[in-house]
Amino acid sequence: MDLGNTLAFLVFPYIALTIFTIGHLLRYLTDRYNWNSRSSEFLEKKQLFFGSTIFHWGIILTFLGHFGGLLVPQSFLDMVGINGQMHTAIAHSSGLVVGSGALIGLGLLLYRRISLLRIKLTTSWNDFVTLGGLIFVVGAGLYNVFFGDFYVLDTVAPWIRGIITFTPDPTLMQSVPWSYKIHILSALTLLAFSPFSRLVHIWSAPVGYFSRGWILFRRKVVE
Question: Regarding the domain with residue range 3-204, which homologous superfamily does it belong to in the CATH classification?
Answer: Transmembrane di-heme cytochromes, Chain C (1.20.950.20)
CA distance 128 to 175: 34
Q: Cβ neighbours of residue 142 under 8 Å, at least 6 residues apart?
A: 95, 96, 99, 100, 103
pLDDT digits (tens, 9 = 90+) for 68-117: 889 988 888 888 888 989 989 999 999 999 999 999 999 999 999 999 99
CA distance 143 to 39: 30
pLDDT digits (tens, 9 = 90+) for 26-72: 999 998 888 777 778 788 888 889 999 999 999 999 999 999 889 98
Helix 125-147 to helix 178-193 angle, to the nearest 10 degrees? 150
**Cβ–Cβ under 8 Å, residues 127 and 40:** no
Distance (Å) of CA 148 to CA 137, 173, 182: 15, 15, 13
Q: What is the pLDDT of residue 223?
A: 63
Please report, for the chain, the start and end positions of each structural domain, with discontinuous segments joined by +.
3-204
Distance (Å) of CA 32 to CA 20, 35, 199, 204: 17, 5, 14, 12
Tell me which amino acid residue 96 is.
L
pTM score of the predicted model: 0.88
CA distance 19 to 195: 8
**Cβ–Cβ under 8 Å, residues 196 and 35:** no
For residue 1, name the pLDDT band (cuts at 50, 70, 90). Answer: low
Local structure of 55: helix, strand or coil: helix
Q: Cβ neighbours of residue 99 under 8 Å, at least 6 residues apart?
A: 58, 62, 138, 141, 142, 145
Q: What is the pLDDT of residue 221?
A: 67
The count of other CB atoms within 10 Å of the CB of residue 34 is 10
For residue 164, name the pLDDT band (cuts at 50, 70, 90). Answer: very high
CA distance 156 to 61: 20
Q: What is the pLDDT of residue 76?
A: 86
**Cβ–Cβ under 8 Å, residues 195 and 26:** yes
Tell me which amino acid residue 23 is.
G
Tell me which amino acid residue 206 is.
P
CA distance 189 to 137: 10
pLDDT digits (tens, 9 = 90+) for 181-215: 999 999 999 999 999 999 998 887 666 666 777 77
